[in-house]
Amino acid sequence: MSAIAVTGTDTGVGKTVFAAALTVALGASYWKPVQAGLEDGSDAASVETLGVPRARIVPEAYRLTTPCSPHRAAELDGVAIDPARLALPRMDGYLVVEGAGGALVPLTRDWLFADQIARWACPTVLVARTALGTINHSLLSIEALRARGVSLLGVAFVGDAQEDSEATIAAVGGVRRLGRLPLLPRLDAAALAAAFAASFDTAAFR
């Protein structure tokens, strides 16, 4: 098995959409180990609508009710997140693992998602939106991941093209610029697969 972690610079940057596209492109399995917030559905349900077969979606280790940081959502549900339960499941082929929120989101009061990625010791993609502020957020995330010894495959951007910002992050952060998913007027499985194929080289993830 080859696992790839997908984390982000913040919540709502497009991690789930990117993770779905990457999972489909690699013929991989998908796992969201901690889902916080269930009222509007789950990320696992979203990736299924975007083309990931249900049979290749691994059930979450934790499903938490409140849409907030996992550490607090767990406390509100009376649940204690145990990092030992977050060991990578054994799968055939590739496994795409989607994080919760940004790289430094707490899973417990003393365990961050970046710490969990470091424990997995798997290559990681940082997803960053191209909106204002992305340079700072991206470079801080890169530093935080590298400080924990995480191996970065590169940065995947989501949004309208911002050539200078994207190039600056790659140059200053010393990371590969993997590509950019545009904002799609119609987001469905076919449109996403076509956009990913046009924007990314799957060899960069193998």
User: If we measure between CA atoms, which residue out of 135, 138, 136 comes closest to residue 152?
Assistant: 138
Q: How does DSSP assign 63-79, residue by residue?
A: EESSSS-HHHHHHHTT-
Q: Record the tokens describing residue 78, joined without a space.
A: 């009376």
C-alpha to C-alpha distance for 21 and 51, rounded to whole angstroms: 8
Q: What token pair was written down for 37? A: 């917030």
| Token pair 């269930």 in the structure block, residue | 38
Q: Which of 15, 32, 71, 129 is catalytic?
A: 32
15 included as an active-site residue: no
- Residues with a catalytic annotation lie at 32
